């Protein structure tokens, strides 16, 4: 339920309303992004849940004419109707969901300072806006490299600051949320964790932007339902990321659902990115699908880039080089422009000349 206090409600009345909700088995979560006096009522785990209609009736009967109570079941907080103009998410100085298409690039995993720095300089020279890289890696096999963990986070923070790119990295476990948030400007929820509800609840309580990847088996309803967990706890800085769903053809690693981008724009106000790297799993298909992503209206493209792709410790087959990215950028720019958007050119820096050398490493 969405609770809207009347503008004339006093602090005491607001407090009383929150307490009343609590007695009915709900927690009132302040939704600052909708303005003062807005709350989402989310059920408390330990109390029996009353049917929504009954709760709303009880709230009204409880003398709370000072507030309006609206159901969120038909049109949730993520619904396009709640914010027809769309949501803009700010990550450092970069805006996602605005006029410009945003390019996120970096290695699958952080492997070393040299690998990350060289890659970061290369992707920056190519024109990327955000640096990605995994420190905590969700791997199919327990015997595979699991990421550098804390050391990887420290490298991301150091290199991101050194090259001037905000960092996005995955938070795998609920207990790591604070630590990861101290080192990165955007927190990624990986595809395998899209319905990790305790993790989503914790991230909803932060004001850090979240990149919510689609589970390979999630319907759009389930994906938006996961985003709703964040929005209902006061965090509207949410960007969705389509990264391919499980199809029957094994030629591509996943089936990149580009129609989902247009569909999500229809259904929700949240920005949507596309990850052609995990979406195809093949280096040779990245450029074509990245162009298609921009054409279908993606608010950003997320690419795995490694300074020496053939040496990538994880996801080697889908890694492209900084030079590949530099070669791809003009066509992404042209397509974005043709579709009424653009791709911002990062300011040229003195160091760029030598950075460009990394592209050919």
Q: How far is the CB of 188 from ligand PEP (least distance, A)?
A: 6
Q: How far is the CB of 147 from ligand PEP (least distance, A)?
A: 10
Q: How far is the CB of 144 from ligand PEP (least distance, A)?
A: 12
Task: Give residue 5's region: left, alpha or beta (phi > 0; psi -120 to 50).
Answer: beta
Q: How far is the CB of 194 from ligand PEP (least distance, A)?
A: 8
User: For Mn ion, which is the closer residue by CB, 33 or 145?
Assistant: 145
Residue 308: CB atoms within 10 Å: 13
Q: Is 278 in the site for ligand PEP (CB under 6 A)?
A: yes
Based on the number of CB atoms within 10 Å of its own CB, is 249 exposed (0-12), middle (13-18) or buried (19 or more)?
Answer: exposed
Residue with tokens 């990165």: 184
The phi and psi torsions of 279 (rounded to 5 degrees) equal: -65, -30
Q: How far is the CB of 176 from ligand PEP (least distance, A)?
A: 15
39 CB contacts (<8 Å, ≥6 apart)? 2, 3, 5, 17, 18, 21, 28, 29, 30, 31
Binds ligand PEP (CB under 6 A): choice among 191, 232, 328, 335: 191
Q: Which does 138 bind (CB under 5 to 8 A by kind): Mn ion, ligand PEP, none?
A: ligand PEP
Q: Which does 190 bind (CB under 5 to 8 A by kind): Mn ion, ligand PEP, none?
A: ligand PEP
Site string for Mn ion, 54-93 (x = CB under 5 A): ----------------------------------------
Q: Is 41 in the site for Mn ion (CB under 5 A)?
A: no
User: For ligand PEP, which is the closer residue by CB, 190 or 300?
Assistant: 190
Q: Is 168 in the site for Mn ion (CB under 5 A)?
A: no
Q: How far is the CB of 209 from ligand PEP (least distance, A)?
A: 15
Using CB under 5 A as the binding rule, the residues of this chain from 297 to 326 that contact Mn ion are 315
Residue 269: CB atoms within 10 Å: 22
Using CB under 5 A as the binding rule, the residues of this chain from 91 to 130 that contact Mn ion are 108
Residues 124/357, Cβ–Cβ less than 8 Å: no
Q: How far is the CB of 338 from ligand PEP (least distance, A)?
A: 28
Strand partners, 187: 169, 210
Q: Is 186 in the site for ligand PEP (CB under 6 A)?
A: no
Q: How far is the CB of 152 from ligand PEP (least distance, A)?
A: 12
Q: Is 106 in the site for ligand PEP (CB under 6 A)?
A: no
Nearest to 148 by CA among 185, 187, 108: 108
Residues 204/235, Cβ–Cβ less than 8 Å: yes
Q: Which does 133 bind (CB under 5 to 8 A by kind): Mn ion, ligand PEP, none?
A: none
User: For ligand PEP, which is the closer residue by CB, 28 or 303?
Assistant: 303
Q: How far is the CB of 197 from ligand PEP (least distance, A)?
A: 17
Binds ligand PEP (CB under 6 A): choice among 107, 147, 152, 190: 190
User: For Mn ion, which is the closer residue by CB, 315 or 355?
Assistant: 315
Q: Is 243 in the site for ligand PEP (CB under 6 A)?
A: yes
Stretch that binds ligand PEP, among 55-63, 85-93, 187-195, 353-361 (CB under 6 A): 187-195
Q: Is 213 in the site for ligand PEP (CB under 6 A)?
A: yes
Q: Which residue is nearest to ligand PEP (CB)?
A: 190
The phi and psi torsions of 194 (rounded to 5 degrees) equal: -55, -30
Residues that bind ligand PEP (CB under 6 A): 108, 134, 138, 190-192, 213, 243, 278
């Amino acid at each position: 339920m969405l609770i809207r206090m009347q503008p004339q409600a006093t602090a005491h009345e607001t407090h009383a309303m929150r307490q009343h909700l609590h007695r009915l088995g709900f927690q009132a979560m302040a939704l600052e992004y909708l303005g003062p006096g807005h709350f989402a009522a989310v059920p408390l785990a330990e109390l029996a849940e009353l049917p929504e209609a009954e709760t709303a009736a009880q709230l009204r009967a409880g003398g709370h004419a000072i507030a309006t109570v609206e159901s969120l079941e038909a049109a949730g907080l993520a619904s396009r109707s709640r914010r027809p103009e769309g949501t803009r998410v700010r990550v450092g100085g970069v805006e996602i969901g605005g006029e410009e298409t945003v390019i996120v690039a970096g290695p699958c995993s952080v492997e070393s300072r040299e690998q990350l720095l060289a890659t970061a300089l290369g992707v920056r020279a190519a024109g990327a806006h955000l640096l990605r890289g995994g420190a905590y890696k969700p791997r199919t096999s327990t015997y595979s490299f699991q990421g550098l963990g804390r050391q990887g986070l420290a490298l991301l923070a150091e290199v991101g600051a050194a090259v001037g790119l905000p960092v996005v990295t995955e938070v795998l476990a609920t207990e790591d949320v604070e630590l990861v948030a101290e080192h990165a400007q955007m927190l990624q929820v990986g595809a395998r964790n899209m319905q990790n509800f305790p993790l989503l609840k914790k991230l909803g309580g932060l004001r850090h932007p979240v990149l919510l990847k689609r589970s390979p088996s999630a319907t759009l309803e389930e994906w938006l339902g996961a985003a709703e967990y964040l929005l209902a706890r006061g965090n509207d800085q949410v960007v969705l990321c389509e990264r391919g769903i499980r199809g029957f053809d094994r030629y591509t690693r996943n089936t990149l659902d580009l129609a989902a981008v247009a569909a999500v724009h229809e259904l929700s106000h949240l920005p949507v990115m596309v990850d052609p790297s995990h979406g195809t799993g093949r280096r040779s298909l990245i450029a074509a699908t990245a162009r298609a992503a921009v054409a279908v209206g993606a608010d950003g493209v997320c690419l795995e880039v490694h300074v020496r792709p053939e040496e990538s410790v994880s996801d080697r087959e889908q890694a492209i080089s900084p030079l590949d990215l530099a070669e791809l950028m003009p066509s992404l720019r042209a397509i974005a422009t043709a579709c009424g958007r653009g791709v911002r050119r990062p300011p040229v820096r003195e160091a760029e000349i030598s950075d460009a050398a990394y592209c050919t490493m």
